[in-house]
Amino acid sequence: MIMDPIIRLIIVTVLSFLAGSLPTAVIISRRFFGFDIRERGSGNMGSTNAFRVLGVKWGLTVQIIDILKGVLAVTVIAYLFVGEQIPFPNYTPFQDITLVRVICGIAAVMGHIWSPWVGWKGGKGINTAVGMLIGVAPVEVAIIFSIFLITVGISGYVSLGSILAAMALPTTMAVRYNIFHVDIEGYHTIVFMLIGLSLLVIYAHRQNIQRLLAGNENKFENLRLVNIFKKK
């Protein structure tokens, strides 16, 4: 059966949103611990609160699954559109399927932040965004992951590491392209997509920013390098 490209694009976008909307931490906390993680710790259903409330093993499980949601959107769901031409003029330097992958990735991140299964609320979107970017901008992912680890290792604030990593995302690509003259396919389109994604993640951390400025943000002392080396 031949399907209208508009309908197919809507379908892959909705499927990506639904994939991203899976409330991983809520499901795991209810299934294996008998409580809703939104009622413990910071009340957030992201991996940071999962590490705090559920422990390292389950926190890591939540993080990996949330990353895979973004990977699924850009490497599997988006390719259901293969063979079709997007139903609007493509003025970007991307091929149609690459543009569809970007759309699906952003939809997955939005699904994670605004999950319909838990009252249109959700996590901060960092892990799902990382999963999306692994398929779209792998070099930038490696750099911002290093920034995240260094920030958390020095400060103990996971939220600060996430915010700085989000800010560094479009900046890193801009520096590579404009200063080091790295040839990046579709730079003038993708950099604005990364700016939008960065602003979306920072907006999702607005309460964390308020707590950081007030000096009462949750800190993971056991993740600070100074304390890790003390234990050794």
Q: Is the pLDDT of residue 231 over 60?
A: no
The rounded distance, in Å, linking the Cα atoms of 199 and 217 is 20
Helix axes 126-136, 138-155, angle to 10 degrees: 150
Rounded Cα distance between 110 and 19, Å, is 10
What is the per-residue pLDDT across 54-90, written as a single tens digit (0 to 9) for each?
Answer: 988 999 999 999 999 999 999 999 999 877 777 778 7
Grade residue 1 by pLDDT with cuts at 50, 70 and 90. very low
64-68, 153-157, 223-227, range with the lowest pLDDT: 223-227
Q: Which amino acid is at 89?
A: P
Average pLDDT over every residue of 121-143: 88
Q: Which pLDDT does position 186 carry in this prediction?
A: 75
Lowest mean pLDDT among 72-76, 122-126, 174-178, 205-209: 122-126
- Map out the domains of the chain as residue ranges: 1-116, 137-232
- pTM exceeding 0.85: no
- State the angle between helix axes of 158-178 and 126-136 in degrees (0 to 180), rounded to the nearest 10: 20
Nearest to 136 by CA among 202, 66, 78: 78
Q: How far apart are the first and last CA of the chain?
A: 63
